[in-house]
Structure 1
Amino acid sequence: MPLINPHINFNGNAEEAFTFYQSVFGGAFAKVIRLKDISSAEFPVAEKDEDKIMHIALPIGKTNMLMGNDVPEFMGKVNENEHRSKIAVSAESKEEADHIFNGLSAGGAIEMPIEDSPWGTYFGMFRDKYGIEWMVEFDPTNNGNI
């Protein structure tokens, strides 16, 4: 059964926000990846974006995860009234990820095709036909948990 977790986009203050969320919810970050951690020839990162958060995850309770990232400057600013959050689905297999991605993206707009990502997971993003933004990911190293 897939898990659904909230994912929030920030304009450079994801770490500050997540430190605040952590002060409220407690716990330890399950994952913190900075943009410089995935920089490569295929995925160059501007110096001004290097320390921004590419992915941060804070467990909430036994099965939920609050996740977020900073939007790199080249992608523009996050509109506070739109494009602020996505629904993240953690699939248990590539087949389940494909099924969910293909089903929910039908009639919508694919932002990033589902494929092997530079950070080692199977990942894709889209906006469904109702305007809701989704991310689908399978992480073989975490048995499907983002």
Structure 2
Amino acid sequence: MQLSNYLFFKTCCEPALDFYTRCGLGRAVEIIRYGDDGMPAGSEGMRGRIMHAKFEGPGVSFYASDNDDAEPMRGSAHLLIMDNQAQTERLFNMLAQGGAITTPLGIQPWGDYYGKLTDQFGVQWMLDCPLQ
């Protein structure tokens, strides 16, 4: 058994996956589009948008798609356990571009270098780098 997150976007799945690729998290390794190869489009507005994508990188794996009835993302976050403080800072700053920082990156009371943000696509990220 393996648990994976599945992110639902209204119509910005592709720009989100491109952004995560530029941040260095990995890349989309599988993309199926509405209306391609006999896949139903649902509506003309969804034709060509991402029906299903698999995103992978070192230590990262999740799925994503566009859904015109998607609810806003809430109540869940991607938690990345990092092993290098400089890499944590670099990735945090990249993911924060156009988003909102909810917990500034810094040493927390439990001793880890940690921060939390919501990116420009509404996805919450928690980056934690244990300092021991």
Rg larger for? 2
Taking CA–CA contacts closer than 8 Å with sequence separation of 6 or more, which of the two structures ends up with the larger relative contact order?
A: 1
